[in-house]
Amino acid sequence: MAADRTKARIFSNTAWLTAGTAVNALIGLYITRALARYLGVADYGLYALAFVYLSFTAVIANFGFDAILLREAARDKENTSSIVTAGIVLKLVFAVPAVAAGAAYLLARDFPAGYAAAVVLLLLTHFVAAFDTYEVVHRARLWGSTPALASVLHQALTLGVVLWGRARGWPIEWLIASHLAVRIIRTAFLYLRLRARMPVRWRWDRGRASFILRESAVIGLTGILWVIYFRVDTLMLEWMKGPEAVGQYAAAYKFVELSLLGSGLLIASLGPLLSERWPADPAGFGRLFQETVDYMGAAGALVAGALLVFGTDLIRLIFSPSFAEAASMLRILALAAPVIYLANAFGHVMVATGAQGSGFLTTRVTAALLNVLLNLWWIPRWGGHGAALATVLSETAVLLIAPWFIRRKTGGLPRFWTPLLAAAAAGLAWLASRAAGGGLTWPGRLAGGGVLAAGLLLFLWSRRRQLTELCRQLRDRRPAPIEVPPA
Encode pLDDT of 160-196 as tens digits.
Answer: 999 999 999 999 999 999 999 999 999 999 888 888 8
Checking phi first, is residue 71 left (phi over 0); if not, alpha (psi -120 to 50) or beta? alpha
- Name the least confident of 66-80, 86-100, 371-385: 66-80
- Name the least confident of 81-90, 202-211, 284-293, 435-444: 435-444
Confirm whether 481 is domain-assigned.
Answer: no
Percent of the chain predicted with pLDDT > 70: 90
**DSSP states along 118-140:** HHHHHHTHHHHHGGGHHHHHHHH
The pLDDT-based confidence of 477 (bands split at 50, 70, 90) is: very low
Q: What is the mean pLDDT of residues 320-328?
A: 90
417, pLDDT greater than 80: yes
Find which of 18-27, 222-231, 252-261 is predicted with most confidence, using mean pLDDT.
252-261
Confirm whether 487 is domain-assigned.
Answer: no
375, pLDDT greater than 80: yes
Q: Identify which has the larger pLDDT, 64 or 121.
A: 121
Question: Which amino acid makes up residue 33?
Answer: R
Q: Identify which has the larger pLDDT, 265 or 286.
A: 286
- Name the least confident of 44-58, 193-207, 261-275, 346-360: 261-275
What pLDDT shows up at residue 439? 67
Burial class (CB in 10 A: 0-12, 13-18, 19+), 328: middle
The pLDDT-based confidence of 487 (bands split at 50, 70, 90) is: very low
Confirm whether 482 is domain-assigned.
Answer: no
Confirm whether 402 is domain-assigned.
Answer: yes
The pLDDT-based confidence of 5 (bands split at 50, 70, 90) is: low
| Contact indicator for 66, 140 with CB cutoff of 8 Å | no
237, pLDDT greater than 70: yes
- Name the least confident of 48-52, 70-74, 140-144, 228-232: 140-144
Confirm whether 485 is domain-assigned.
Answer: no
Q: What contacts 482, CB < 8 A, 6 or more positions away? A: 197, 198
What pLDDT shows up at residue 260? 78
Q: What is the mean pLDDT of residues 124-137?
A: 89
The pLDDT-based confidence of 7 (bands split at 50, 70, 90) is: low
Q: What contacts 122, CB < 8 A, 6 or more positions away? A: 50, 51, 53, 54, 176, 177, 179, 180
The pLDDT-based confidence of 10 (bands split at 50, 70, 90) is: low
The pLDDT-based confidence of 483 (bands split at 50, 70, 90) is: very low
The C-alpha atoms of residue 452 and residue 303 are separated, in whole angstroms, by: 10
What pLDDT shows up at residue 485? 34
The C-alpha atoms of residue 259 and residue 281 are separated, in whole angstroms, by: 32
The pLDDT-based confidence of 354 (bands split at 50, 70, 90) is: confident
DSSP assigned state of 322: G
The C-alpha atoms of residue 187 and residue 162 are separated, in whole angstroms, by: 20
Number of domains observed in the structure of the chain: 1
Q: Does the N-terminal peptide bond of residue 486 adopt cis geometry, omega within 30 degrees of 0?
A: no
**Average pLDDT value for the chain:** 86
- Please give the residue range of the domain that contains residue 425: 2-476
Confirm whether 471 is domain-assigned.
Answer: yes
Percent of the chain predicted with pLDDT > 90: 47
155, pLDDT greater than 80: yes
Q: Identify which has the larger pLDDT, 69 or 481.
A: 69
Q: What is the mean pLDDT of residues 284-303?
A: 90
The C-alpha atoms of residue 484 and residue 487 are separated, in whole angstroms, by: 9
